[in-house]
Amino acid sequence: MSERFLVTGGSRLSGDVVVGGAKNSVLKLMAAALLAEGTTTITNCPDILDVPLMADVLRGLGCEVELDGDAVRITTPAEPEYRADFAAVRQFRASVCVLGPLVARCRKAIVALPGGDAIGSRPLDMHQAGLRLLGAHSTIEHGCVVAEADDLHGATIRLAFPSVGATENILMAAVLAKGDTTIDNAAREPEIVDLCTMLVRMGARITGAGSTTLRVSGVASLRPTEHRCIGDRIVAATWGIAAVMTRGELSVHGVNPKHLALVLDKLRSAGAEVTPLADGFHVVQKERPRAVNFATLPYPGFPTDLQPMAIGLAAVADGTSMITENVFEARFRFVEEMVRLGADARTDGHHAVVRGVEQLSSAPVWASDIRAGAGLVLAGLCADGVTEVHDVYHIDRGYPRFVEILQELGGTIERVGVDEDRLLSR
């Protein structure tokens, strides 16, 4: 049996929601534990499927991993294994973040090419190019990234694009390299800053976190530490957009509102009253939202992870919106599912034009990735009748207690099983 969500439209979301740790940070923090022998503890970990999946990857590398509520304790041996096998890695993309730490600690890494969301090509060219400049030899062999180095040395590395994953892998390799490393055009996301903060606590020497230039002075070894993961800005923004789409009122806690400055400005443009809080924000939407244009860009631009929710908002807004996707070329793949729900949307390359309608109409839809799944659920909240959302395991990979939180906020949604034969016959 697989599972699906049954979403009944017409509810106005209201209440308070507390956001847990960031998916896009915690998995990289877990990988960073490989850099030091001993026990590292990460708190404020989200209750999502990807955390135990990453725990399995680390166990395969010789670590002991204990999941205890919102804490993860990782005990790394003196000599970790250097091979991350296909069975553990294939399920999610973030597993490739063990590449840099393994090269740094073991001077060798064999990491199966990962699987994950169907949102477009995410090649490892920049990861490999950065490791080569640090002194590693890196190739793709038999479906794996293979990297080896007799020694790692500092280098000046300029990324062609501010890739989060490449920045993280190069950074985690550079902290144990001899000499100084400069990473130009580095990613600036809050999750990168969070990783830098933890690495510095472990004894790394890093400056420039949050800027386009990271400077690293390599050290001989790192020590284990305890670190609290930052709040998930994507989950927080999802709830904020849900409030606007359903003309609701929500207080969202557990996140730094400065990490969402542009997103909150977009909600204001849609007609919402948005008030920053010490640990989040409060949003009220009294009328039908106005159409707003969105263009995804690396941080501090509008996050590509929120593009499906932006499409959902545009689908019910008053007016016509233009959404431009500048990060992942296949992220519009899910738009045809929005069209099933009655959205008036057309895509052309990197652009989507969405003409808002008063109300969407229920239909069976299929989630192709974490964020597309969440966007489809939000659209279902604005549709007549009951919308069936399938392949909801994607949503569980990125959103803790998704169904339960929506229910607590007044949404009508339930999780049910579905016959595999029915899915195969669609």
Active site positions, annotated: 117
Q: Which residues pair with 324 in a beta bridge?
A: 295, 351
Using DSSP, state whether 205 is helix, strand or coil: strand
Q: Virtual CA dihedral for 234, 262, 17, 119, nearest 10 degrees?
A: -20
Residue 23 counted as an annotated binding residue: yes
DSSP calls for 80-99: ---EE-HHHHTT-GGGGGGH
Residue 256 counted as an annotated binding residue: no
| Integer Cα distance of 346 and 254 in angstroms | 36
Residue 327 counted as an annotated binding residue: yes
Element (H, E) at 347: strand 344-348
Q: Which two tokens stand for residue 177?
A: 């390299």
Q: Which residues pair with 226 in a beta bridge?
A: 41
Using DSSP, state whether 284 is helix, strand or coil: strand
Distances (CA, A) of 333 to 164, 325, 329: 22, 11, 9
DSSP class of residue 61?
T
Contacts of 328 (CB under 8 A, 6+ apart): 119, 120, 122, 304
HSE-CB of 364 using CA atoms within 13 angstroms: 7
Residue 93 counted as an annotated binding residue: yes
Residue 24 counted as an annotated binding residue: yes
Sheet with 280-284: list strands edge to edge: 14-18, 249-253, 280-284, 273-277
Residue ranges of the annotated binding site for phosphoenolpyruvate are: 23-24
Residue ranges of the annotated binding site are: 23-24, 93, 305, 327
Residue ranges of the annotated binding site for UDP-N-acetyl-alpha-D-glucosamine are: 93, 305, 327
